[in-house]
Every structure is written in C-alpha cells, then in structure tokens.
Amino acid sequence: MEIGIIGLGVAGISILKEIDKQMTEKMKGELNITVFSETEGFGTGFPYQPDDEALLINQYTETMSIDLDDPHHFLKWMKAKRQLTDLYNSHLPRTLFGEYLYEETLSLIDKLNVTVIREKVTAVRPIKKGQFNIVTDQSEKIVDSVHLSVGHLAYQDPYALKGLENYIYNPYPAIKKLDFPDQPLRIGILGTGLTAIDTYLYMKKTHPKASLSFLSLEGRFSSVRGHEPEIETHYICQESIKHLIERHEDTVSLEQIREWFQKETEDHGIDLPWVWEHLGKGTVEGMQRDLKHLEELGKFQAIIRKMRDCYALLWNALSDDERDEFLKGYGQQWSFFKAPIPQKTARLLIEDITEGRVKLFKNIQAITKEKQGFKVELGDYDDQVFEYIVNGTGQQMDLLKNSHLQQPVVRQLVEDEILKPYRYGGVLIDYPSMCAVDTNGEKQPALRVYGQLASGVHFGNSSVEMVAKSARYGVKAMLDDI
C-alpha cells in the first residue's frame, strides 16, 4: 500500500506515530510511506520552527505531548535533554517544542523507512481505482491514501497590503522577518491575537527603542491563563455526550448544551453567570480583573480544556441555525477563554500600555501606503503614520475569501471541487474518519484532512492533543477501510 503524507508538522508527525502504533509489523512491511514537506517547517510545522526563544507556547508545558498514550512525554524529554524538572504550569519557548518534534520525526522516519520528498506539493488529482496522484514542480507520486496535513492556512490580508514595501505579511520566523534597522522605528502591529503578541514580545527584546502600537478593530486581546487545577467532568464528557446524542436521535439543542454546561460548572463550584459577565473580556481592564481572580478563572478554563474531546461531537449535533446562534452570542468570548495568554505576558502588556510605552488603537477605518510610510485612519483617534506594518491578524479560515493567498494545493483541490469550502471554516469532512467530502456530498475515502483545513467540522482542534487525536481517528479509519 502506498501512503502519501503532505506536510510534516504536528499532524503529519502524529500520522506517522499512529501508523507505527496501529499497524502490525506484517502490515508495515507491505507499506510504502512518502512524506512531502518543504525544508522550512520540516519535522516541526509552522508554529514550532526554529525561532527566537521570546516566542512562547501559550499552553502549559504538561499539556504538550505528541504521544497520546504518554501525556508527560514532552516533560520527560525536557528533563532528559535540558535537565529541567519543575515545569508544571510553565510556558516554554515554542522552538524547544520544535526540537522535541524534530527528534520524534527523525526517529519515526527511520523506524518506518519513510521516503522524504522536500518539495512543495502543487496538486493532488484523483485517478483510477480511487488512487491519487501527488504532484510537485519536480515529481509525481501515485498513492492509495493521502493524508493532507498542510498545517496553517494563509494569513489574512484585510487591508490588501501584501507585497507592499515595509509590510510584513507573515512575521515568522521572527529572527528573519523582523530584522529591522537599529534606529528607532514606528511599527504598527496589526491585530491583538497570538501572532501580534509574538511580534510585540520579539520587538521588545530585539528593538527596545522602537515605538510599538497595536492596531485592531476592538482593542481586545484574550483572557489570562488562570491557575488550572486537575479536574474531571461529569456532565460533559465523551461517554455521556455520545449517550445523550444517541438518545436525542443525533439532534441536540443549544439550550440542552447550556443546561449541561451550567450543571458542570455548578458541580465544580463555579458561578457561571458571574464568570461570564466579569472575566475573559480581553481588554486591558479585563486582563487586570482576570489577574485578581486566577483561581476562579483557572477552574473555569480547566473545565473548557477538559471538554475538548466533546467539542466536535456537540458542534456537529447542532443545526446550522444554532451554530450561528452560538457564534454570535458566545463565540468570541469562548475563544478568549479557550486560548488564554500567559500571566507574565499579560502583566507586560498591561504595564506597557497603561504607562504609554506601547499604544493600543482600535476602530481602524483604513490603511493606505504613502511615501513616508503607512497612514492608518482611526475612528476614535487622529490618523497615525508608521514606517512598518506587521501583520498579526491570524489565518484566513474562509476559503471563499482571498483564495489566491492559500497554498497552491489547497487552491487546486477547491477549484477542482475535490474539497468543498465549509461555511464555518476550512473544508467539509466526515468526522471522525477525517475523510474529505467533495462538492457532490460524496466522501473521498482515500483523502483525509487535518488541522485548520478540518477545523470547521473538527471544532476546537487548535491544540497539539486534538490534532494528534484527529490523526488517530484518521489512521484507524484508513485501516478499517483496508
């Protein structure tokens, strides 16, 4: 059997690991695996490529394991390689996790006798008998099963600035992309998400005299990570949710989910209305309030993290109308609670903004290029001019918008109607088999999709653990098909 894996970040590595775990030695002997990955991000993926140690993982170290059967696998690696032991509730540099992933990659490539082609895939085309032809600029490979794990989708470009001088569309790796002249600079950081915060932290370290400003629509960051205890959920866990969904004949209402969540928070002594009203707002004042309530906040975030296995089950049991209702009423603040920023980073942001060392502008009206730099029109302030704009707006999840920004293989698969853009982001897949679903509604059993491309259906799959679990599901389904 010929297997092609496109991309070798967290998903691609996890697919190799699951093939190793789920296949017998006899099956492995009849298997040929080819991995397609460009040199940049090889064995680490985009977020964990070699970069400056100022860029931190926003998850606690103890939650970062590529091995689903050993939650402390990364902790053990850090102890053995770096002699670091007291790592609970810490936030390590992302490049360290990349080193860990790279070592795992090399081990799996050797163990499974993987063929590596370091070329950009430009097309994946169906051919006879359900096979696919994987095409690069230099070669072609016919395979029986494709695992599409291309990682992050393209960055947004909300003001159509890509290609203009002094506009940094993609700031990674920061050590290359943010290598500015030494003289003081006026730099506008577009957005307030994790990429924007990375830019801020790196610039503080390398260009301390630069004048930094965050430019956003709402001026909101995220919640602060609280003190998360170890907990168990009782109302919202995989077993109970599967039972409840089956009992309701695959239809669950948003009101029922609210009731289950209310019971879950009450069971853990959490005042849900108070937490929702007062915490996780993402403003400077909101982060200050979060820091005063780290115990309550952490307990709430621990429940959300423990629920991750249920996200896709619940999401896909709702009707489109109720998904829309959830996103409109709860989506943004839920994402703030789900992806918090480290306490140390929050304190730095608050101090720099309140003391005027860093500015926070909101309500952007337009950004235009002029001779002296970029003019930013703001609804609440005078126009501002910056020598450089750094894009930190996050990925473009809607494949029907600015499709020219996406990778060639993604564009081709959408244009050829092999992948169907999904209204909630990425493309339509069958969950949990991870099979692509084409524009005719037909499953593609030889094409499986992971990561951000699958996140509209595999809701909330932004963590290493959830991506690794999707690889487990995809490999198991592939073996069941065989």
Q: Each residue of 324-371: pLDDT tens digit?
A: 999 999 999 999 999 999 999 999 999 999 999 999 999 999 999 998
Band (248; pLDDT cuts 50, 70, 90): low
| Comparison of pLDDT for 435 and 88, the residue scoring more | 435
Residues 6 or more apart whose CB falls under 8 angstroms from that of 243 comprise none
On average, the pLDDT of the chain sits at 94
Q: Which residue stretches of 272-331 are H helix?
A: 272-278, 284-292, 294-306, 308-317, 320-326
Band (446; pLDDT cuts 50, 70, 90): very high
pLDDT at 88: 86
**Rg (the chain; Cα; Å):** 23
Q: Checking DSSP bridges between strand 132-136 and strand 140-143, what pairing results, if any?
A: antiparallel
Q: Checking DSSP bridges between strand 145-148 and strand 373-378, what pairing results, if any?
A: unpaired
Q: Checking DSSP bridges between strand 211-215 and strand 358-361, what pairing results, if any?
A: parallel
* pLDDT tens, residue by residue, 396-429: 999 999 899 999 999 999 999 999 999 999 999 9
| Comparison of pLDDT for 457 and 244, the residue scoring more | 457
Residue 260 CB coordination number (10 Å): 21
Distances (CA, A) of 399 to 249, 266, 372, 406, 418: 32, 40, 34, 8, 13
Question: What are the two backbone dihedrals, phi and then psi, of residue 316, each rounded to the nearest 5 degrees?
Answer: -80, -10
Band (251; pLDDT cuts 50, 70, 90): low
Partners of 34 in the β-ladder? 4, 115
Predicted confidence (pLDDT) at residue 250 exceeds the cutoff of 80: no
* pLDDT tens, residue by residue, 101-153: 999 999 999 999 999 999 999 999 999 888 999 999 999 999 999 999 999 99
Using CB atoms within 10 A of its CB, is residue 209 exposed (0-12), middle (13-18) or buried (19+)? exposed
Q: Checking DSSP bridges between strand 429-430 and strand 435-437, what pairing results, if any?
A: antiparallel
* Amino acid, single-letter form, for residue 85: T
**Reported pTM:** 0.94
pLDDT at 309: 84
Band (245; pLDDT cuts 50, 70, 90): low
* pLDDT tens, residue by residue, 143-201: 999 999 999 999 999 999 999 999 999 999 999 999 998 788 999 999 999 999 999 99
Residues 6 or more apart whose CB falls under 8 angstroms from that of 476 comprise 18, 22
List the end-to-end C-alpha distance of the chain, in Å, as a whole number.
10
| Comparison of pLDDT for 307 and 33, the residue scoring more | 33
**Closest by CA position to 152, among listed 195, 199, 116:** 195
* Amino acid, single-letter form, for residue 27: M
Specify whether the CB–CB gap between 91 and 224 falls below 8 A.
no
